[in-house]
Chain A
Amino acid sequence: MRRLLPLAALVLVAPLSLSALDWPVGRTVVTATFGEDRTDHFHNGIDIGGGEQDVQPFLPGELVFRYEENSDYTSLPRGVGSFVVVHHADDIETVYCHLKRGTIDPRRTTYGARDRIGVMGDTGYSEGTHLHFIVRDEQSASYVNPLSLLPAIADAQAPVIRRVALAIGDQVRTLAPGAIVPSGRGTVLAEIYDPRADVKFLWPMAPYGVRLSVDGKEIARVSFDALQVVEGRMVLRGTRLASRDVYAADGMMRCGEVDLRPGTSHLLLTVRDFAGNETSRELPFTVRD
């Protein structure tokens, strides 16, 4: 918790300063959220669409590293395309990825609040013009959910729980109210979406938090606050959950493990997005002998 203090201080101080935290672009359409499934890793930032536009730093800062695709030397392939890393006060670093080729000023080493870092682009491993925006807290060596620092954006739509399933061994069955399931140990899976009015496609965006209770007792809680590496594995901070522990191969979220004992049980799955919209699904079911 102590490691979160610099970030908390930044959030508190920023509104008082002239250079408040700001979205890095003018038109903010969040098309992918922090912690989403990327097959073998978590999405470590947010994606912002809204069309080709100037990218500015979310705070004044100093250039740490830049890479211009097809121009600068690199010893490794870079899926983030042309990108810039900016160092801010309190050991916060922000990364601006997939910038349009040729729009990074090679002479600039400091950025004011309104200075242009580059133009939103489509370089690297990208399937459309967008900005992949990363916030790192160097003191805790964590990737932080940018939505926890950026000014709130309007979002009145609650997350959608499209399907809840139970995996027992290799068997995956949809869990409907009144379902009868065998006893044993099972994993609760859920297909979750967090739709937004300004995003015209249904993409399984990670919600901010997922809570699973069985018979009134909370058995699992996942919160997409921050990511950090523990023993060579990127995990949700404060847990040992890597992306493959949180997401099944088909992209469904593993919400928690339950002991299925004979009798009737009551499952409650609650999903919350970053704006505080919440959706719950209650599922009574019977476990047979």
Chain B
Amino acid sequence: MRRKKPASGFFIAVVVIILYFILFPHPLGRELVARPAWTLSLPAAESLPPGGRSPDSPAEAGRPDALQRPDAFQLGDTFGYVGPSGRLVHVEKTLFRVALSEAGFVNYTRIGSDWVLRDPAGERLFSFAGRGYPMASGDGARVFVVKTDLTGLQEVDRSGEVLWNRDFPSMLTSVSIEGGHLLAGLMDGSLELLDRTGAAVFTHATSGSRIPVILAAAVSSDGSRLACLCGIDPQVLTVLGKKGASFAETSRTLLSAEFRKEVRLLFSPDSRYLVLEGDGAAGLADPGSRELSWTPLGGSLTGVSFLGRARAAALLARGESSWRLTIAAPLSSVLCAASFRATAAFLGSVDGQILLGIDGRLLRVDVEAM
């Protein structure tokens, strides 16, 4: 017959655990505080004159952020630029689409072949021509023309001259431009990485799916990583890392999604994390550790903004009847989330913080760790 352990052993264990937490307290994670900084009402698109409005009165020009670089926004059928402290630098009605970048924009009509790149204040920088639609890199340093049938690209310089022209073996499905790198995803399931001269420095044919197709392509800002969401049956997230002068596959993750359209896929500005649109969720991946975690969004992902100081990502999703803003730390939990109703919404960044647009209003939200 076994002897029954005395109950005093249990109490001693509990006391030891309590003493451990008293003597060696584990610090709790820092709290995240989201603080509205300012709001701004935008004029109705119908009230804007052709060429937009740059309400830079002497009083506005004297504001502290007058010399700071404004950030771009696009809300409903208006777009423009706003300064860090809420100074509206320019606002304009979108004609058909707008090629929007930090350094300027091209507001263009559905049919046209002559375009003007304007700076954030609406001043003309240069004009150029082509057959297709214009596109600018995020920093505005590079301007392209996408051929109407999606079979080719041209880059133009500041005098409007064509620098290079490249045709692709299949239709373009997704393009990612970061610095001197342009990654083109194609309908036939291949990737082409082009350098500043338009030459293909790396090509990659995805494989393993019944139907090859690139549904999203992304190049990191430092050019060290490429990623793509590709294939139908199965759908795969593939990450490639730089290896010498070429790239090699570093991870391949089978996904349960079955997208048959382009989805969002982008690297964080520090090239460390990858955000991937999922079915009602966003995937936050660390290509270094090959970890991927999913954050439920309650709708489709429509915007992503990285918050450098808080090491978090803001995610905007559109559900059936509402929008949802979620702030999540990569590979961790949801830090906070808020839902709201709106006809149009936009998520961007201003001065490294959240710039949220909701039905004709812009709102800056500062997120800080306390």
By a beta-carbon cutoff of 8 Å, the part of chain A in contact with chain B is 38-41, 43-45, 62-67, 72-80, 85, 87, 93, 95, 97, 109, 124-127, 132, 134, 136, 138, 141, 228-229, 232-234
B263 near A73: Cβ-Cβ < 8 Å: yes
Residue numbers in A under 8 Å from B118 (CB-CB): none
Q: Give Cα A5 to B310, complex, Å.
A: 58
Residue numbers in A under 8 Å from B133 (CB-CB): 77-79, 125
Residue numbers in B under 8 Å from A63 (CB-CB): 260
| Closest chain A residue, CB of each to CB of B174 | A75
Q: Give Cα A72 to B176, complex, Å.
A: 17
B132-147 contacts to A (CB < 8 Å): 132-135, 146-147
B253 within 8 A of A: no
Complex interface bits, B178-213 against A, C-beta within 8 A gives 1, otherwise 0: 000000000110000000001110000000000101
A72 near B261: Cβ-Cβ < 8 Å: yes
B167 near A64: Cβ-Cβ < 8 Å: no
B148 near A234: Cβ-Cβ < 8 Å: no
Q: Give Cα A224 to B159, complex, Å.
A: 36
| New contact pairs (10) apart from A39-B131, A64-B213, A79-B146, CB-CB < 8 Å | A40-B147, A64-B232, A66-B260, A72-B261, A78-B146, A85-B213, A125-B132, A138-B188, A141-B188, A229-B167
By a beta-carbon cutoff of 8 Å, the part of chain B in contact with chain A is 97, 99, 110-111, 130-135, 146-152, 154, 165-176, 187-188, 198-200, 211, 213, 215-217, 232, 258, 260-264, 277, 302
* In the A-B complex, the 10 residue pairs with the closest CB atoms: A79-B148, A77-B133, A234-B167, A229-B169, A125-B148, A76-B175, A39-B131, A232-B166, A141-B169, A229-B167
Q: Give Cα A126 to B263, complex, Å.
A: 25
Residue numbers in B under 8 Å from A138 (CB-CB): 188
Residue numbers in A under 8 Å from B151 (CB-CB): 41, 44, 229, 234
Q: Among B167, B174, B261, B302, which residue has its beta carbon within 8 angstroms of that of A41?
A: B167
Q: Among A67, A75, A232, which residue has its beta carbon within 8 angstroms of that of B175?
A: A75
Give A163 Cβ to nearest chain B Cβ, in Å.
Answer: 25
B261 near A233: Cβ-Cβ < 8 Å: no
Residue numbers in B under 8 Å from A97 (CB-CB): 149
> Could you list some 19 contacts between A and B, CB below 8 A?
A38-B148, A41-B167, A44-B149, A62-B232, A65-B187, A65-B213, A67-B262, A73-B261, A79-B132, A80-B149, A85-B187, A93-B187, A97-B149, A109-B260, A125-B132, A134-B149, A229-B167, A229-B168, A234-B167
